[in-house]
Amino acid sequence: MPLRELDTDYLVVGCGAAGMAFTDALVDASKLDVIMVDRRHAPGGHWNEAYPFVKLHQPAAFYGVSSLRLGDDAIDRHGPNEGLYEQASAAQICSYYDLVMRERLVPTGRVRYFPMCDYAAGPDGTHPFVSRVSGEAYAVTVRKALVDANYLQPSVPASTPPPFEVAPDARCVSVDKLASIEDHPDRHVVVGTGKTAIDACLWLLQGGVSPDAIRWIRPRELLLNNRLYMQCGNLVGNLFEGISLQMEAAAKATSLADLFDRLEDSDQLLRVDERVAPGMYKGATVSASELAALRRIEDVVRLGHVRRVERDRIVLEQGTVPAGAHDLHVHCAARGLRLAPAVPMFAPGRVTLQPIRIGLIPFNAAIVGFIEATRSDLADKNRLCPPNPLPDVPLDWVRGTLIGMNADRMWAKEPDIAAWLEGTRLNAARGLRHPPRSRGASAGPARVRACGEAASCRRAGIASGGRGRGPRPARACACA
């Protein structure tokens, strides 16, 4: 089969959240040509392999691409996310990205999409890829840059074997198979600490499984963001309040330990078990209702990582616990997004997509796309887009917050970037200069009332008092 030759301004490798948001912003701000290559059958990256009950941990209102709204920009009126902007399911997100590709990007005439293709850089600087379906081979001449949207490619349970041995007579499934289990195990044993394990526990609880029938193996205690303070639109006041509480905590802290105490006392950071020092931070979020549900699970194993699952026991790094013959072990222990070292975002002939703000992959990729489209000086582009390595431990919250704040300060001094920030739906903080209006509401961020009962309010975060600081004062809540 003859080699097919193509040429383009940009070759984007990866059509997940980062690649889609970058391309959308680049095409919107320029007349440049793009070829997008992806190994999957449809755009959306790992969402195509996600477990069926997964939902975004951030509001759908600022996820996806800038040019097309995801969801209805509605506030949930019931359920564990009540009072906060709606999340989106895996099915919604996959359908959304398919729509973006078919009705937004390809119709511009400047985006060509090649699914089911494997890309591998040639030794001589060429850019070949091969169709996994037909075997047809392509060679691409790239005029400006290769865009690596797979640098942080995640590892998910659906495509990653458990990082522990499973005996032939023990039952273990990856989390994506959990919803298809037809019998009723005596006990569900959830293995993992992060967002996936949290989602699995919440899905089981919401499905009526007794918390006494769930065992949660957590090698580390996870520090979580309070979703109440990660809102936008008519609840953007919550976001600004959270930022002010974080800055107040930083200004008054006398040590790192004191800083994290203050962040938890002000409900900015949460943990399921306040008795255990947190050792992990990934940027995941939780609502007050979800946190209360997770705390109902009392069978928590803290003996390090699992080494082997057997029919009658689980062998861990620091000991062994008994298991039942009818237990179902749920593998949620894939690493997630790759903890890759920071590299310059822009290099000659190459763009490597990485975070700038913690946890906001589409926003980060989109602003990189806008800056790539509007600037030519390599040093200036790297100054405006400092890479912010993915967080792993609590201290990374400090580093990540500082890098994000410094980037915000630089962007505010660039009129075109400041205008873009106010116009893109991916920026949760838009409305700072021109607060949004809602039907029947006056201009300005939505006011949150001080209900005077923050200790018991279902929206106020942790319901207990702080660590050694006495009862928490009443604060604004979103119950109105």
Q: Report the relative pairing of strands 34-37 and 4-13 from DSSP bridges.
A: parallel
Average the pLDDT over 431-442 and give the result: 46
Phi, psi dihedral angles at 33 (to 5 degrees): -105, 140
Average the pLDDT over 9-21 and give the result: 97
| pLDDT of amino acid 438 | 40
Tokens 């790094």, located at residue:
317
Q: What share of the chain in percent tops pLDDT 70?
A: 90
Lowest mean pLDDT among 124-128, 354-358, 368-372: 124-128
Residue 30 pLDDT exceeds 90:
yes
| pLDDT of amino acid 460 | 35
Give 267-292 pLDDT, tens digit per residue.
999 999 999 999 999 999 999 999 99
Confidence of residue 378 (pLDDT cuts 50, 70, 90): very high
Residue 442 pLDDT exceeds 60:
no
| pLDDT of amino acid 433 | 57
pTM, whole model, 2 decimals?
0.89
| pLDDT of amino acid 458 | 33
Give 178-207 pLDDT, tens digit per residue.
999 988 999 999 999 999 999 999 999 999
| Cα–Cα distance, 406 to 364 (Å, whole number) | 14
Residue 36 pLDDT exceeds 50:
yes
Q: Which CATH number fits domain 4-54+89-154+338-412: 3.30.70.890, 3.90.1150.10, 3.40.640.10, 3.50.50.60?
A: 3.50.50.60
Average the pLDDT over 446-468 and give the result: 35
Confidence of residue 325 (pLDDT cuts 50, 70, 90): very high
| Cα–Cα distance, 291 to 279 (Å, whole number) | 18
Residue 169 structure tokens:
């007579």
Give 412-436 pLDDT, tens digit per residue.
999 999 999 999 999 998 876 554 4
| Cα–Cα distance, 255 to 33 (Å, whole number) | 51
Q: How far, in whole angstroms, is CA 258 from its chain's centroid?
A: 27
Residue 256 pLDDT exceeds 70:
yes
Average the pLDDT over 48-67 and give the result: 94
| Cα–Cα distance, 112 to 442 (Å, whole number) | 44
Confidence of residue 479 (pLDDT cuts 50, 70, 90): very low
Confidence of residue 1 (pLDDT cuts 50, 70, 90): low
Q: Are 159 and 167 in contact (CB under 8 A)?
A: no
| Cα–Cα distance, 276 to 270 (Å, whole number) | 12
| pLDDT of amino acid 172 | 96
Q: What share of the chain in percent tops pLDDT 90?
A: 81
In angstroms, what is the C-alpha Rg of the chain? 23
According to CATH, where is 3.50.50.60 located in the chain? 4-54+89-154+338-412
Residue 224 pLDDT exceeds 60:
yes
| pLDDT of amino acid 126 | 84
